[in-house]
Structures are given as structure tokens and as C-alpha cells.
Amino acid sequence: MPQKPNKTTENQGDVGHFIASVADAGRREDALVLLDLFEVVTGFPPRMWGPSIIGFGSYHYQYDSGREGDFMRCGFSPRKANMVVYLTGGYENPETAAKIDALRTKLGKHKLGKSCLYFGRLSGIDLDILKQMIRVDMASRPLT
């Protein structure tokens, strides 16, 4: 059976235009802070992934089932309800997951998803801890 294409793929969307289109001024300001933070910490330029995720770096994956593709290494999305930060390195690597979890206890007010963090405003989290989490995440797997 043919593989279904990924819903979230890298595209040529304009990151600046996307951030400028975020309706909530506070969320837009936080997105600009995260944009700078991710660029500095990862060393990668921002790229749009799907219509609403800003990703940094990419990696190729292949599951035992044979499904394969490319996905962003890490990134964020200024969603209406929450800011979402995606850290994919701990998803498949238990050692990385443990390191990220240990740092996460010091992060501040957030909720946890499978490979993402949800929080309201940046003022509620420790940006230095987030930087450390991104560094751990980026060190966990080869980049493409």
C-alpha cells in the first residue's frame, strides 16, 4: 500500500508574514522572541512547516513499518489558545527524553504533549531552561 504523504511539510511560506498575521499582540511578541531564541540556539534559519509551524533544522526518519519522511528538528507555533514548542528529539530517544524531562521540571507553567510543550505567555517560563532543552533536543539526532 502506498505511503500517505505527511500533512506537515516544509514549504516556502514567509515566516515574517506569518508572525505578523498572528492576531493577538502578546502572542505575536512572544513569537518574535522565540524566533530569535531558536535561531540563535539551533543555528538554523526558520522555515514554515505546514501553514502554522515555524521549524528549525530537519531530519529524515524511517519507521520499522517502512514509512519514512522528513520533519523539522524543533520549532514552535503561536496558536490561538497556547504557544506550542516542538522538541522531537526525546520522542524516540529515551536518554534525551529523560534529560528534557529533568529540565522541564524547572521550566515554569506549561502542559506537556507527546513531543510538545504548551504554555500561555513567555513571562510564565524560564527562557534559559528552554534554551537548554532545545540544546539537548538538537544534540540527540543527526540533522539534514
- Report the C-alpha gap between 79 and 140 in whole angstroms: 26
Domain range annotation of the chain: 10-138
**17-24 long-range contacts, Cβ below 8 Å, gap at least 24?**
18/48, 18/52, 18/54, 19/54, 19/78, 22/78, 23/80, 24/78, 24/80
Judged by DSSP in three states, 56 sits in: strand
pLDDT of residue 139 exceeding 70, the answer is yes
pLDDT of residue 102 exceeding 60, the answer is yes
Per-residue confidence (pLDDT) for residue 125, from 0 to 100: 97
**Residue 81, CA atoms < 13 Å, CB-side half-sphere:** 4
CATH of domain 10-138: 3.90.1150.200
Q: Is this model's pTM higher than 0.85 or not?
A: yes
Residue 49 and residue 10 in contact, taking contact as beta carbons nearer than 8 Å: yes
Place of cell 489558545: 81
Average pLDDT over residues 63-78: 86
* 89 closest CA partner among 133, 32, 36, 126: 133
* 41 closest CA partner among 49, 33, 52: 33
pLDDT of residue 141 exceeding 90, the answer is no
